[in-house]
Amino acid sequence: MKVGFIGLGRMGKGMARRILGGGHDLVVYDVLREQTAEFAAAGAKVARSIAEACEGREAVITMLVEDATVIEVALGAGGIRDSFSAGAIHLAMGTYGVATIRTLAAAHAEANQILVAAPVLGRPDLAAAGQLGVVAAGPAEAVRQCDPLFQVIGRRTFQAGTKPEAATAIKLANNLALGAAIVAMGEAFSLVRKYGVAPEVLYDVMTDGLFAGAPAYKGYGKTMVDETYDHVGSPVLVGIKDANLISAAADIARVPLPSLNIYRDRLLGAIAHGDGDKDQAVLAREQGRACGLD
């Protein structure tokens, strides 16, 4: 498949490597030119502009962090919409807001182009190993066309229907559940520490008992126990970005989310204490501060 890839950050690099390794014709683009060097060495084409990344492509993937950035890349002058041919697919694989996905879908439809939203579930190590979860939504034939890409990027594709915003809703809901779990683990570790119990004991109880086989509890819980917050999978600053997207989606749908408010407050506290660039497991430290442990 002829694919363009825009956004070679921590997640994007692993995904793009998988696509290139899967035998697809890949063109990459990033505003930081040095991010593209390893792909040029591996045989991928390197575009000098967004327009060049779209030229002759069946699909272009965006893996960008901020909503404003993906809107500019897709809809700005010389962006994806201006550079695409009719019928080409914009495959939005980052975590974006519902309003942003609606805007992209409408703009591409007006230009006889297609938006497929396919946010991914997992951390950079899973991206590199091709073990991400992919939540895909959009016109059925377009989603089917993208399946060879999903196969090399992820371990499973979750079909979310024909409206791209459905995939966004699922990704944001998943992040809400994960954020609540991180907060709850931090609180639980603080409680046992107050009774002089080593956090490792609770970790073993959780991961070999009630939450056996749950990777979120194993991964984030181990980071909390070891306090290896500098080994970053998903940083606090990305967490607050996503928390704000969840809040906006809840506002559109008029859904109260009390757990989100607690998660967001812990994220803000961590940022205020200088931990914005740390892994989100650092919310355990923030909880510890709240109860006088740290």
Q: What is the pLDDT of residues 129-140, one digit of tens each?
A: 999 999 999 999
Please check the confidence at residue 245 and state whether its pLDDT lies above 90: yes
Q: CATH number of the domain that 6 lies in?
A: 3.40.50.720
Q: How confident is the model at residue 215 (pLDDT cuts 50, 70, 90)?
A: confident
174 and 136 part of one domain: no
Sheet bearing 120-121, strands edge to edge: 120-121, 132-136, 154-159
- Give the closest residue to 13 by CA, choosing from 38, 50, 48, 45: 38
Q: What pLDDT shows up at residue 210? A: 86
204 and 255 part of one domain: yes
pLDDT digits (tens, 9 = 90+) for 1-20: 999 999 999 899 999 999 99
Q: What pLDDT shows up at residue 193? A: 95
- Strand ranges (E), the chain: 2-6, 25-29, 45-46, 59-62, 89-92, 114-117, 120-121, 132-136, 154-159
63 and 134 part of one domain: yes
Specify the DSSP class assigned to residue 138. S
Residue 73 corresponds to which tokens in the numbers above?
């890349």
41 and 158 part of one domain: yes
46 and 105 part of one domain: yes
- Measured from the Cβ of residue 118, the count of other Cβ atoms closer than 10 Å reads 26
Average pLDDT, the chain: 95
pLDDT digits (tens, 9 = 90+) for 144-177: 999 999 999 999 999 999 999 999 999 999 999 9
Q: What pLDDT shows up at residue 60? A: 97
Domain C-terminal end among 162, 189, 206: 162
133 and 179 part of one domain: no
Specify the DSSP class assigned to residue 279. B
Q: What pLDDT shows up at residue 72? A: 96
Q: Are 42 and 22 in contact (CB under 8 A)?
A: no
20 and 117 part of one domain: yes
151 and 38 part of one domain: yes
Domain C-terminal end among 101, 132, 162: 162
Residue 278 corresponds to which tokens in the numbers above?
């740390």
Q: What pLDDT shows up at residue 213? A: 84
How many angstroms from the chain centroid is the CA of residue 288?
27
Backbone angles phi, psi at 176, to 5 degrees: -60, -50
Q: How confident is the model at residue 123 (pLDDT cuts 50, 70, 90)?
A: confident
Domain C-terminal end among 124, 140, 162: 162
174 and 65 part of one domain: no
Report the share of the chain in percent with pLDDT over 70: 100
Angstrom distance (rounded) from CA 59 to CA 39: 18
> What is the span of the domain harbouring residue 284?
169-290
Please check the confidence at residue 294 and state whether its pLDDT lies above 80: no
Angstrom distance (rounded) from CA 283 to CA 44: 39
120 and 193 part of one domain: no
Angstrom distance (rounded) from CA 215 to CA 233: 13
Instruction: Please count the structural domains in the chain.
Output: 2
Q: CATH number of the domain that 197 lies in?
A: 1.10.1040.10
Angstrom distance (rounded) from CA 92 to CA 64: 9
Please check the confidence at residue 233 and state whether its pLDDT lies above 90: no
Query: Active site includes 171?
Result: yes
Average pLDDT over residues 79-103: 96
Please check the confidence at residue 212 and state whether its pLDDT lies above 90: no
CA angle 244, 248, 251 (to 5 degrees): 140
10 and 153 part of one domain: yes
Average pLDDT over residues 98-106: 97
Average pLDDT over residues 168-188: 96
- Strand ranges (E), 93-164: 114-117, 120-121, 132-136, 154-159
Q: How confident is the model at residue 195 (pLDDT cuts 50, 70, 90)?
A: very high
Average pLDDT over residues 217-245: 94
- Strand ranges (E), 54-197: 59-62, 89-92, 114-117, 120-121, 132-136, 154-159
**Residue at 227: amino acid letter:** E
pTM: 0.91
Average pLDDT over residues 57-68: 95
Q: Indicate which residue of 2, 171, 218, 278 is catalytic.
A: 171
155 and 219 part of one domain: no
**Residue at 220: amino acid letter:** Y
Q: What pLDDT shows up at residue 172? A: 97
